[in-house]
Structure formats: C-alpha cells, structure tokens
C-alpha cells in the first residue's frame, strides 16, 4: 500500500524539487501539488491523504496555520528556509522539518520517519489484539504498553497518557480518538477530560475514583455507565 502525499509550496522551484524527490520512493504516491495554499487546504478538507509536505512561510496562510485548521491531520513534514520555525513545527507534532535548500540525504531521513510511522499505524489497527500502542511524541515514535496506562488526560487537541513514568507521554490526538484505539472493556471515559484503565481502580466513592496514583472526578454523564460496568465485574 502506497503512502498518498500532497506537497504545498508557493515557490515553483521548491515544489518541483520536492516532486522529484518524492518520485524516487516506491512507497510514496504524489497525489497533487499546490502553489496556492488556500487551494491546497480545500483539497485536504475533501480528500484523505497520508503525508503532507508543506512550506511554513507562505503569503496567504502559513503552513502551520493551515495544518492547525485541518479537522483530520495527516502526517506532516514542514519545509522552511528559517530554522526559527522548528519549535512551532514541533508544537504541531510534525514528523520532521526540512531546512531549505533541501538535499536528498536529509529528505530521505524525513521520508524514512514517515514510512516507519505509517507502518506502525497499520500495525496497531487491530487494537484489541495488540498489547502495545504507538504514538508520535517529541519527534519520535513512542511505544506504550497498553496494560501500563493508568489514565489519559485531555488537553484540547492533545492528550497526556499517564503510564507511571516520571512524565506522561504527550501526543496530538483528541481524547475520543485515543479511546477508540484502546480495548473498550478496559478503558472507560469518566469525564470530558479523563479516560481511565479500570484495572487501575482502587475505589469509587462520591463521584470520585481513586486510581493507583491519583484521584479523579466522575461526571454525571458517565457515572451510571461506570457503575453498571463495575457491578457486572462483581457479578462475574
């Protein structure tokens, strides 16, 4: 299966270079290129792609703002003539950023990251049979053992996955999507901001759940569902 790509850059020569590089990888399929960022954004809203190469500094809308506005985000590799934009690229959980002028060796490194990430996404598709979850965090792929997850905390477009490490794993993903990637009989939503691993519950009392390391609130929306599930466990 090929990785479907789109390239957006207002500089024709830069776009031509990217197109040539992409064509040298059998794993990649260049679906479309755009010099007009607005036209590119419209295409992305109406078509599913896997990998986006996009310039950061463009006249109508920056590449970063364009990516922020997408409801469904593909893998992203930013291109830029300015190193100062690297941190902003990191904030958007880009796979990589390529500094112009882009040479083939550096481009290859970015594409290899994309191929690895794509393969990991495919490997985790059957989530109920897989004990591991792979997410992208801080420019690297992180493997998380699902049974070790204690709870997941929403941060708008991001989530913090708490796994008992010194610090949580932060990745660009809505809480609803994170829950969809996990076994539904083990992970339960208890609040608009929290999903918990029921195997980590120590007690439930007065709309509060005590996990191994933290106490969290249970909202009215989810309390009955959690109680029914736990009662079923008692009967079992």
Do residues 40 and 75 both lie within one domain? yes
Q: Is residue 195 part of a domain?
A: yes
Q: Is residue 185 part of a domain?
A: yes
Domain containing residue 94: CATH number = 3.40.50.2300
Confidence of residue 91 (pLDDT cuts 50, 70, 90): low
pLDDT of residue 128: 43
What is the pTM (predicted TM-score) of this model? 0.56
pLDDT of residue 26: 96
Q: Is residue 12 part of a domain?
A: yes
Do residues 107 and 167 both lie within one domain? no
pLDDT of residue 82: 78
Write the burial class of residue 137 (CB in 10 Å: 0-12 exposed, 13-18 middle, 19+ buried): middle
Write the burial class of residue 91 (CB in 10 Å: 0-12 exposed, 13-18 middle, 19+ buried): exposed
Q: Counting every residue, how long is the chain? A: 236
pLDDT digits 0-9 by tens, 170-214 = 999 999 999 988 988 889 999 999 999 998 998 888 899 999 889
Do residues 82 and 168 both lie within one domain? no
Do residues 101 and 182 both lie within one domain? no
Q: Is residue 133 part of a domain?
A: no
More confident residue, 234 or 131: 131
Do residues 60 and 30 both lie within one domain? yes
How many domains are contained in the chain? 2
pLDDT of residue 135: 92
Do residues 110 and 151 both lie within one domain? no
Is the separation of the CB atoms in 104 and 39 below 8 Å?
no
pLDDT of residue 38: 96
Q: Is residue 180 part of a domain?
A: yes
Do residues 170 and 219 both lie within one domain? yes
pLDDT digits 0-9 by tens, 25-52 = 999 999 999 999 999 999 999 999 999 9
pLDDT digits 0-9 by tens, 142-169 = 999 998 999 999 998 899 999 977 789 9
pLDDT digits 0-9 by tens, 52-70 = 999 998 998 999 999 988 8
- Show the domain range for 194: 145-235
Distance, CA of 93 to CA of 187 (rounded, Å): 25
Q: Is residue 188 part of a domain?
A: yes
Averaged pLDDT of the chain: 88
Distance, CA of 50 to CA of 8 (rounded, Å): 14
Write the burial class of residue 124 (CB in 10 Å: 0-12 exposed, 13-18 middle, 19+ buried): middle
pLDDT of residue 70: 87
Q: Is residue 172 part of a domain?
A: yes
Do residues 117 and 152 both lie within one domain? no
Domain boundary among 123, 153, 187: 123
pLDDT digits 0-9 by tens, 94-146 = 888 899 999 999 999 999 999 988 886 676 555 444 588 889 998 899 999 99
Give, as one character, the DSSP assignment of residue 26. T
Q: Is residue 136 part of a domain?
A: no
Do residues 15 and 106 both lie within one domain? yes
Do residues 112 and 200 both lie within one domain? no
Do residues 9 and 115 both lie within one domain? yes
Domain containing residue 199: CATH number = 2.40.50.1020
Do residues 102 and 20 both lie within one domain? yes
């Amino acid at each position: 299966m090929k990785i479907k790509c789109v390239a957006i850059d207002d500089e024709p020569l830069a776009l031509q270079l990217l197109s040539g590089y992409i064509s040298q990888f059998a794993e990649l399929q260049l679906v479309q290129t755009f010099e007009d960022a607005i036209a590119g954004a419209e295409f992305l809203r109406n078509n599913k792609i896997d990998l986006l190469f996009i310039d950061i500094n463009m006249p109508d809308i920056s590449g970063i703002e364009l990516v922020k506005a997408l409801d469904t985000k593909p893998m992203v590799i930013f291109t830029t003539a300015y190193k100062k934009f690297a941190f902003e690229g990191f904030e958007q959980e880009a796979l990589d950023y390529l500094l112009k002028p882009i040479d083939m060796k550096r481009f290859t490194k970015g594409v290899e990251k994309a191929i690895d990430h794509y393969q990991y996404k495919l490997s985790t598709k059957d989530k109920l049979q897989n004990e591991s979850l792979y997410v992208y965090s801080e420019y690297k792929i992180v493997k998380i053992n699902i049974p070790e997850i204690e709870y997941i905390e929403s941060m708008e477009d991001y989530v913090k996955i708490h796994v008992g490490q010194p610090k949580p794993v932060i990745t660009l993903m809505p809480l609803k999507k994170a829950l969809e990637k996990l076994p539904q009989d083990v992970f339960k939503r208890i609040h608009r901001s929290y999903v918990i691993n029921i195997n980590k519950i120590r007690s439930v009392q007065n709309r509060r759940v005590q996990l191994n390391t933290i106490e969290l609130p249970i909202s009215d929306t989810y309390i009955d569902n959690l109680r029914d599930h736990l009662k079923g466990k008692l009967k079992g």
